[in-house]
Structure 1
Amino acid sequence: MPKPTPAEPHWNVNALPPAPNRSFLITGGNAGIGYFVAEQLAATGALVILGSRTARKAEAATTAIRARVPQARLRHIPLDLADLASLESAPRHLADLGLNHLDALIANAGVALDAPPRRETNDGHELMLATNHLGHFALTHWLAPLLTAAPAARVVTVGSFAARSERLDLSDLQSTRDYRPKRTYGRSKLAQMSFAFELDRRLRAASSPVRSLVAHPGGALDALTPPRPPVHTGSTAARVRALPAAAMVQGKDHGAWPIVRAALDPAAEGGQMWGPRMFGLRGAPVLEQPRPHMTDPGTAARLWEASLTLTCPYLIGAQPNMPGW
């Protein structure tokens, strides 16, 4: 596992390297952290594709980004990670945009429920696990041909600080016996991160040019996030009330920084985790040392097999695919 090093002196979050010939797909790029990742990447000249469940939300995000980046190259495709059967169409939608390769998949979209009851998708999977982990597991599989067609593609998985205190229970992966929303959310994000590290191990073993990285936003609050109408319209009063918290956390615009760096920095490597400098909660993006339970190969291998079992009915016919499937 790559060791953390001091932040590269050349990296400036306000002066990102140009990327006019690169293409990025951001799941959930129409809101929250994903929106600001899209806005920042659009400023580099890259082609940014917003994956969104509805065209209306993608169009609102496009309007907001173009208000700040008039020359932004933006597209959107329909993407519902909770509907595994629908993900097969993602490569076709990208081909319809004229893409024959994809430089990065940014696995950002997520669901966080605050209270019971436990909810399931139409496929019968617990909603947070299905959206946050299983959907991205399957989507990565379907997008493998486009990623491998790029000279040095990246899969950037957006993790969460919440995963630090959780442990996967592979005997109850879908929280059917003991459902607690915050714990189930943290475990779903841990599953994402465990998958990302295992994916990079398998890619390296197969001598693939694709690399898999993890990044997390730290503590990112709506109240500290600058307005981006019509996507986000925070009130001044809410921002003032949240100012004391700014000593420890940040807005979602800054929370996007580690993800953008993982996607863009030429020095970033597969298997790394990027997060905010200050206690992993706020500040400039730097390398972090992942916790051992996030990178454990034995747990990751069992999770991979369980994920494959749950998604396999929806992956039939996907060729070629990533190593290890």
Structure 2
Amino acid sequence: MSHPSRTGPWNVHRLPRADGRTFLVTGGNAGIGYFTAEQLATTGATVVLGSRDQVKAEGAMASIRSRVPGARLGHLRIDLADPASVGTAAERLCLDRLDAVVHNAGVALDHPPRRETEDGLELMFATNHLGHFALTRWLAPLLSAAPAARVVTVGSFAAKSEQLDLDDLQSVKDYRPKRAYARSKLAQMCFGLELDRRLRATGSTVLSMVVHPGGALDSLTPSRPPVHIRTAGGRLRGLPAGLVLQGKDAGAWPAVRAVLDPQATGGELWGPSCFGLRGRPRREPRWDQLTRTAVAEQLWDASCELTGVDPGLGLT
């Protein structure tokens, strides 16, 4: 199904219809992933929430249905830190095609000690980057079966001040939680752009693009019980920050636009319009770290070795 044409400025509150299409949002049960799923559900598309927690996913779907009558929703149980869970994801979707996947789910640790998955990988790098890297491979047949599928990778504004250390991708030598998180998100973003370069080289119809939510705070986020409940006190405390930051509902806008806008294309970076921190979604220049193709290629090779899969295989 071709994307509908669009004229006039993008309106975050009047999204184009996407009836008949299916989107997967990892981490769709909370935060930016939840609001991405909620907003996409208003278009008439079927939205599948990827989540490892069945109860939380059901709560998120109930919240969406209370705001979007007739919403078409599904749940995919997936743990991005578990290779077995990721490897069977496409089979458990029971679809013949997938029109877009939003790689959003993530783990953010604030304090030491360094944590590892059962396979001995640093938890944030494994979940945020490697899990999505491998998931793309297993979704490849479904994405290729769609007329113009999109892979949308959600990075972080925090990554803008970091550099990848190719000799210590898993922060073994010098573990600092906030830095490790930012670098895992930078790795995601480099992957998303490198994926598009490889797709273009093979003539694939699948597009890959990267987005970031700017500064998105819980205190500025509207309540969505039971997913998120904002108290009056929390709202008041968040008001000063609202001058430069925004809620997670607005943080979802760049991802939603990357999925739906017929004028968006592969290899682009989308983020908030006001200093990259808040506002309507817009296309923005790539950050310096995202222009280094040699680094992205080395990251790709390292990720293939760590996961045992190559996302470029099968995407045509």
- Where do residues 179-198 of structure 1 align in structure 2 (5 Å cutoff)? 179-198=175-194
Residues 198-237 of structure 1 aligned to structure 2 (within 5 Å): 198-237=194-233
Q: Would you say 1:110 and 2:106 are equivalent positions?
A: yes
Note the C-alpha offset of 1:319: 11
- Distance (Å, rounded) in 2 between the aligned partners of 1:30 and 1:114: 21
Measured after TM superposition, the shift of residue 155 of structure 1 is 0.2
* CA deviations over 1:68-89 (Å, ceiling 9, x no partner): 0011000001010011122111
Q: CA deviation at 1:17?
A: 0.3
- Unaligned 5+ residue runs, structure 1? 1-7
| Aligned Cα root-mean-square deviation (Å) | 1.4
Could you say which residue in structure 1 is the equivalent of 2:240? 244
What residue identity is the alignment partner of 1:36? F
Counterpart residue number, 2:48:
49
Structure 2 distance, partners of 1:255, 1:305, is 31
Q: What amino acid maps onto 2:68 in structure 1?
A: V
The aligned counterpart of 1:146 is: 142
Residue identity over aligned pairs, in percent, reads 64
CA deviation after TM superposition for structure 1 residue 234, in Å? 1.1
Amino acid across the alignment from 2:107: V
Q: Tell me, in whole angstroms, the C-alpha distance in 2 between the residues paired with 1:228 and 1:150.
A: 32
Kept in 2, the 8 Å contact 1:198–1:295? The answer is no
Which one of the candidate residues 286, 289, 296 is aligned to 1:293? 289
What residue in structure 2 maps to residue 303 of structure 1? 299
- Give every structure 1 segment of 4 or more consecutive aligned residues whose post-TM-superposition deviation is greater than 3 Å: none
Match of 2:70, as an amino acid?
Q
Q: Is this contact kept in 1: 2:166–2:299, CA < 8 A?
A: yes
- How far is the alpha carbon of 1:236 from its aligned partner? 1.2
Aligned partner of 1:85: which letter?
A
For the 8 Å contact 2:206–2:315, the answer to whether it is kept is no
Q: Distance in 1 between matches of 2:312 and 2:93?
A: 16
Structure 2 unmatched runs, 5+: 1-6
Q: Which letter does structure 2 place at the counterpart of 1:321?
A: G
Which residue of 2 is the match for residue 72 of structure 1? 71
Whether contact under 8 Å (1:30, 1:58) holds in the other structure is yes
2:4 is matched with none
Aligned to 2:157: 161
Q: How many residues align?
A: 310
Amino acid at match of 2:52: R
Contact persistence 2:129–2:188 (CA under 8 A): yes
CA distance in structure 2 between the partners assigned to 1:236 and 1:101 by the alignment: 44
Aligned counterpart, 2:3 = none
Q: Cα 1:320–1:100, aligned 2, differ >3 Å: closer, same or farther?
A: farther
Cα distance change, pair 319–269 in 1 and its aligned pair in 2 (3 A): closer
Partner of 1:127: 123
Cα distance between partner residues in 1 of 2:194 and 2:312: 20
Are the counterparts in 2 of residues 26 and 48 from structure 1 also a CA contact under 8 Å?
yes
**Offset, 1:320:** 5.7
Which of these residues, 253, 259, 268, is aligned with residue 257 of structure 1? 253
Do 1:145 and 1:320's aligned partners in 2 also have CA atoms closer than 8 Å? no
Offset of 1:288 from its aligned partner? 0.8
Does the aligned pair in 1 maintain the 2:195–2:312 contact within 8 Å? no
**1:5 — aligned with what?**
none
Distance 1:35 1:141 in 2: 24
The code of the aligned residue for 1:62 comes to: M
The separation in 2 between residues aligned to 1:9 and 1:227, in whole angstroms, is: 31
Render the CA deviation track for 1:257-289: whole Å, top value 9, x for unaligned. Answer: 011000000000000011000000000000111
How far apart in 1 are the matches of 2:120 and 2:174?
Answer: 17
Q: Which amino acid aligns with 1:38?
A: A
> Which amino acid counterpart does residue 51 of structure 2 have in structure 1?
S
- Aligned residues of 1:157 and 1:192 also touching (Cα < 8 A): yes
1:319 to 1:167, Cα distance in 2 relative to 1, 3 A:
closer
